[in-house]
Structure 1
Amino acid sequence: MIGLVLAAGAGRRLRPYTDTLPKALVPVGPEGREESLTVLDLTLGNFAEVGLTEVAVVVGYRKEAVYERREALEAKYGVKITLIDNDKAEEWNNAYSLWCARDVLKQGVILANGDTVHPVSVERTLLDARGEGRKIILALDTVKQLADEEMKVITAEGRGVRKITKLMDPATATGEYIGVTLIEPEAAEELADALKATFERDPDLYYEDGYQELVNRGFTVDVAPIGDVSWVEIDNHDDLAKGRTIACQY
């Protein structure tokens, strides 16, 4: 099993940082420090802490910044990093971005969005949830108060995910998908096919819509509640401020 990070996004709401950097390289350490940690740093650190030695990173927008830092990141975290180019990163949404990593999925991955600040306990929770035929396991926050923007999930006892979308009444949701998934090798081909069907239907769709496509086909997508932990998806400057507060706790 290896790590996989989706880091192709532009993150335009985080300008001026993202005028020159992809979203995953926006600093989340103390403001003003030139050598500040990034979301990618934190994620690589998590992967290394649970014993992963190989990581694939899907890059697109401002990808040269990731290429420039690759060797230093490999040395810092003791992992081998393979970069996968997304040629449509500024045109299409992340269903296509994850599909670009379809060959990597065959090794089994822990997938992390390049904008999710989260503790290593999330990876540990997913690894502990393996077995009993589970092929895809989503990290789920069942504690947070939900609103309209979150990627919400409805589950059913013994059947896993029934619905995953931002477009639902928050009161009906079981919890929020936080952007971290464990994907076993046995799920790779079916997931890749579902992702392809998803972005061919509409290139603006999310990879979570690919998960929904799998569910609609009868595939069981499981969840693992992460408990009451601090995490944030960084979409804007308010999220970034929260991310800095959380990151300094790790």
Structure 2
Amino acid sequence: MIGLVLAAGAGRRLRPYTDTLPKALVPVDGDTTVLDLTLRNFAEVGLTEAAIVVGYRKEAVEERRAALESAYGLKLTLIGNDKAEEWNNAYSLWCAREVLGEGVILANGDTVHPVSVEKTLLAARGEDRRIVLALDTVKRLADEEMKVVAGDTGVRRITKLMDPAEATGEYIGVTLIEPEAAAPLADALKATFERDPDLYYEDGYQELVNRGFRIDVAPIGDVPWVEIDNHDDLAKGRGIACLY
């Protein structure tokens, strides 16, 4: 199993930081970035390799690759997304379809979270679980969150376009994907971005569910985390990152 980070997006709401950097390289604790925190989590749970999907300002990640490899003891592979500034992240995850076959812990490049999330996902392996989503069942939800309805048969719905009161919790942007799920997921992602290139990879998860594929969830407990979309989120991220 390897780590996988989606770090191709432009992060326009974080300008001027993202005038020259992808969102994953915006500092959140001194010189430490979201990408640093994620790679450190991967290393702490015993992973030795990680792939990073890059697009916008990809040269900034390339310039830091050797230093990141040295800092976290990970062999890093960069995967290019040629449509990073045009299409949404369903296509971005599809670009990594070949490494999905190795089994991955997937993390969005803008999610500040503790290593306990990765540990929770790894502890949930087994019993034919092929995709497991890290789920916050504690946070009070609003319109913008990626909401999930899940029950005894796994995920039924995953979308932002849902009444928060209906949701079981919020998907935080970290997933365990077993090798057996690679081909079905890649096919669902392709169908998703071909239908609409502005769709999220979570819409690909919904496509899988609609096809009868079971996706499971693992509640992460009451832990501080944040998805960094804008400057308010960045301030929260900086308050959380220093805890880790």
Category of TM-score, reference length = shorter chain: over 0.9
The whole-number CA distance in structure 1 between the counterparts of 2:89 and 2:173 is 12
What is the CA distance between 1:183 and its match in structure 2? 0.1
- For the pair 1:65 / 2:71, whether they are aligned, the reply is no
- For the pair 1:119 / 2:111, whether they are aligned, the reply is no
1:186-214 Cα shifts (integer Å, max 9, x gaps): 00000000000000000000000000000
Aligned partner of 1:133 in structure 2 is: 128
The whole-number CA distance in structure 2 between the counterparts of 1:176 and 1:93 is 20
Q: Read off the aligned partner of 1:172 and give its amino acid letter.
A: E
Aligned partner of 2:6 in structure 1 is: 6
Which residues in structure 2 correspond to 1:220-239 (within 5 Å)? 220-239=214-233
Aligned partner of 2:23 in structure 1 is: 23
Secondary structure of 1:99's counterpart equals: helix
The whole-number CA distance in structure 1 between the counterparts of 2:54 and 2:180 is 25
Q: Read off the aligned partner of 2:140 and give its amino acid letter.
A: Q
What is the CA distance between 1:98 and its match in structure 2? 0.1
1:108-127 Cα shifts (integer Å, max 9, x gaps): 00000000000000000000
What is the CA distance between 1:184 and its match in structure 2? 0.1
For residue 50 of structure 1, the aligned residue among 39, 45, 49 is: 45
Secondary structure of 1:28's counterpart equals: strand
1:113-168 Cα shifts (integer Å, max 9, x gaps): 000000000000000000000000000000000000000000122x1000000000
Aligned residue pairs total 244
Aligned partner of 2:92 in structure 1 is: 97
The whole-number CA distance in structure 2 between the counterparts of 1:85 and 1:67 is 11
Q: Read off the aligned partner of 1:122 and give its amino acid letter.
A: V
Aligned partner of 1:243 in structure 2 is: 237
The whole-number CA distance in structure 2 between the counterparts of 1:206 and 1:213 is 11
Secondary structure of 2:27's counterpart equals: coil
Which residues in structure 2 correspond to 1:73-222 (within 5 Å)? 73-157=68-152, 159-222=153-216
CA RMSD of aligned residues (A): 0.4
Secondary structure of 2:6's counterpart equals: strand
The whole-number CA distance in structure 1 between the counterparts of 2:51 and 2:158 is 25
Q: Which runs of 5+ in 2 are unaligned?
A: none
What is the CA distance between 1:232 and its match in structure 2? 0.1
The whole-number CA distance in structure 1 between the counterparts of 2:158 and 2:122 is 22
Q: Read off the aligned partner of 2:42 and give its amino acid letter.
A: F
Q: Which runs of 5+ in 1 are unaligned?
A: 31-35
1:193-248 Cα shifts (integer Å, max 9, x gaps): 00000000000000000000000000000000000000000000000000000000
The whole-number CA distance in structure 2 between the counterparts of 1:29 and 1:106 is 33
Q: Read off the aligned partner of 2:37 and give its amino acid letter.
A: L
Secondary structure of 1:153's counterpart equals: strand
Runs of at least 4 residues off by over 4 Å: none
